[in-house]
Amino acid sequence: MPPKPTAFIDADILLHRAVSFCEGDFDGEKMTDWKQALYFFDHIQKSWLKAIGPVEDFFLVISVGQNFRKGLYPDYKANRKDITPHPAFAGLKQEVMSMAGVIWEEGIEADDLIGIRCTEDQNTIAVSADKDFATVPCRLFIPASHGRKEGTWHTFSEDEANMNWFRQALTGDVIDNYKGIPGVGPKKAEKIIPGLAPVPFHWGNLRQAFLDAKMTEADALTMCRLARILRAGDYDFETKEVKLWQPT
């Protein structure tokens, strides 16, 4: 029998889903007890693991510190600065970080660490509801949500992931607040990046689209770097430095 896989679970998503169940109030105030949120965190985690099936091991991956993308693009996630976290969030995150099997790398997001681990070893599963994992060559499980009763499985080849990555760089990301080319949505991105092809071919098409939009090659490169979830070789765990993608 083939060895069981290792699962890398996006704990950022788990944290937000857990506190979302604590939206009740007492005397007009939100419930702030992180211990209540911890109950939901544990329940959701167990339901995800059950849906995945047997694994050799699993790790909860969490984001800590300021993301390196902020240094590339000051407006990265700037649209979230006025959002007030749920009162239970900080206490829950601190408790989760003290658990065994929880991993992080300060300065890169949970997505990046999952992307690195799941491209280092093919016998792994990325577990996240983040659509950006379509840009990573990996096996992905998207857990069930309020609008979807069952989780879904996806496997992205390197060519598929690269195609999705370059399309993402063109459209930008409203949630993460980077712009791509204004006015370019999914349909236009599909015309610019029409299918599977080598990375230099995608880069040539994308670069030209930015120039045609009166933007610069530097803009194109920045968007590609923002859209790229880190993969094996993109991060030095000894020096703690990100190796930014360069076109060839």
Tell me the pTM: 0.93
Locate 201 and state its tokens: 């071919």
Residues 110 and 175 in one domain: no
What is the CATH classification number for the domain harbouring 208? Answer: 1.10.150
Residues 34 and 107 in one domain: yes
| pLDDT value at residue 157 | 98
Spell out, as residue ranges, where the chain has pLDDT lower than 50. Answer: 26
Locate 188 and state its tokens: 């236009």
Residues 106 and 178 in one domain: no
Cβ atoms of residues 94 and 104 within 8 Å: no
Find the angle CA(99)-CA(123)-CA(103) to the nearest 5 degrees.
Answer: 20
What is the CATH classification number for the domain harbouring 75? Answer: 3.40.50.1010
| pLDDT value at residue 82 | 62
Q: Could you list the residue range(s) of the whole structural domain that residue 104 is in?
A: 6-155
Cβ atoms of residues 53 and 139 within 8 Å: no
| pLDDT value at residue 102 | 97
Q: What does the alpha-carbon distance between residue 181 and residue 206 come to, in Å, rounded to a whole number?
A: 10
Domains in the chain: how many in total?
A: 2
| pLDDT value at residue 147 | 59
Dump strand ranges (E) for 33-183: 57-61, 102-103, 124-127, 139-142, 152-155
Q: What does the alpha-carbon distance between residue 91 and residue 221 come to, in Å, rounded to a whole number?
A: 38
Which run of H or of E encompasses 218? helix 217-227
**Contacts of 216 by beta carbon, 8 Å cutoff, 6+ apart:** 210
User: What is the identity of the amino acid at 13?
Assistant: I
Residues 93 and 195 in one domain: no
Residues 104 and 91 in one domain: yes
Residues 121 and 26 in one domain: yes
Q: What does the alpha-carbon distance between residue 75 and residue 199 come to, in Å, rounded to a whole number?
A: 27
CA distances from 62 to 94, 116, 222 (A): 11, 14, 25
